[in-house]
Amino acid sequence: MERIQLAEDVSLSRIVHGMWRLNDWGYSKEETLNFIESCLYMGITSFDHADIYGNYTVEEQFGQALALKPSLRDQMELVTKCGIKLISSKRPAHSIKHYDTSREHIIQSVDQSLMNFKTDYIDVLLLHRPDPMMDPSEVAEAFTCLKREGKVKRFGVSNFLPSQYKMLNSYLEDPLVTNQIEISATYLEHFENGTMEQCLIDRISPMAWSPLGGGSIFTSTDEKALRVRNSLEKIKEETGAASIDQVLYAWLLTHPANIIPIVGSGKLDRVKSAADALELKLSRQQWFEILEASKGNEVA
């Protein structure tokens, strides 16, 4: 599978698997291990996590599965996020949901993630959300400490606007390597607010969460969803794609920013469909047909 070089010491598979819903799949440790191995066999070597996923349980479940075959750690990249504190029985000190990007919290979160994964390093650590109380000098201190100690190779952010990304980057010794944002044919905000241009300026590849628009494209009957679905069906027939979700992935993969889609399904056939989308090539006209269907009007 094609790979995207984020930095000289970190690359990701062009398709990343997101583990957010691992709890929902009802997998045993052995079934989770089989799922991981199946992804690796397809060339999907990068797995996306966050400390809060599954009410603070998904990282640990993944780590328990990985412990059944520790040698797999050297064949994969682990991406995880921190910075959100949820109200949870597992975190009784949290009286409200809030953000925390303090030096102390970032380092504590990483130490906990390392314990959860049963590993001694994380490939890429992301700040999960922009924090209005962020002290960028504290973030920089935490990042420097974690890299110096070998606990994290590289750093990025998630859901940051261009100004927020630029602000934090200005404090760091090593530049951020990605911004994980919502991007799909039905969610165009980051094509319109300067984020995609900022990715191209800084030569970073954004990671795309919810690349299928949360699945609404398959079931919704609103006017926008119907327009896009009709466009996808047309292009599916033109290209010989196996499904419209392949066309949705191909739409992202065609963009020059080298977008990295995050697949969130626990069904291996859906994961394979995403991987196969790498072979699907859209013309410029087909790309704009989907854009037009989403916007509801032709470009000016």
CA 280 to chain centre: 21
Q: Is 296 left (phi over 0), alpha (psi -120 to 50) or beta?
A: left
Whats the size of the chain, residue-wise? 300
Q: Which of 53, 165, 187, 249 is catalytic?
A: 53
255 is written with which tokens? Answer: 């963009």
| CATH T-level fold of 3-177 | TIM Barrel (3.20.20)
Average pLDDT over residues 183-197: 95
Which stretch of DSSP H or E encloses residue 216?
helix 216-219
Q: Phi/psi at 216 (nearest 5 deg)?
A: -65, -25
Whether residue 89 is predicted with pLDDT greater than 80 in this model: the reply is no
Predicted pLDDT of residue 219: 85
Active-site annotation holds for 53: yes
Least confident of 108-117, 218-227, 231-240, 274-283: 218-227
Write the CB contacts of 174 (distance below 8 Å, at least 6 apart in sequence).
7, 143, 147, 154, 155
Whether residue 47 is predicted with pLDDT greater than 90 in this model: the reply is yes
In this prediction, residue 155 has a pLDDT band, given cuts at 50, 70 and 90, of: very high
State the Cα–Cα distance between residues 19 and 214, nearest whole angstrom.
15
State the Cα–Cα distance between residues 56 and 51, nearest whole angstrom.
6
CA 242 to chain centre: 24
CA 297 to chain centre: 29
In this prediction, residue 218 has a pLDDT band, given cuts at 50, 70 and 90, of: confident
In this prediction, residue 299 has a pLDDT band, given cuts at 50, 70 and 90, of: confident
State the Cα–Cα distance between residues 266 and 28, nearest whole angstrom.
13
Predicted pLDDT of residue 37: 98
- Which ranges constitute the DSSP H helices of 46-150? 53-56, 58-66, 103-117, 136-148
Strand partners, 4: 12
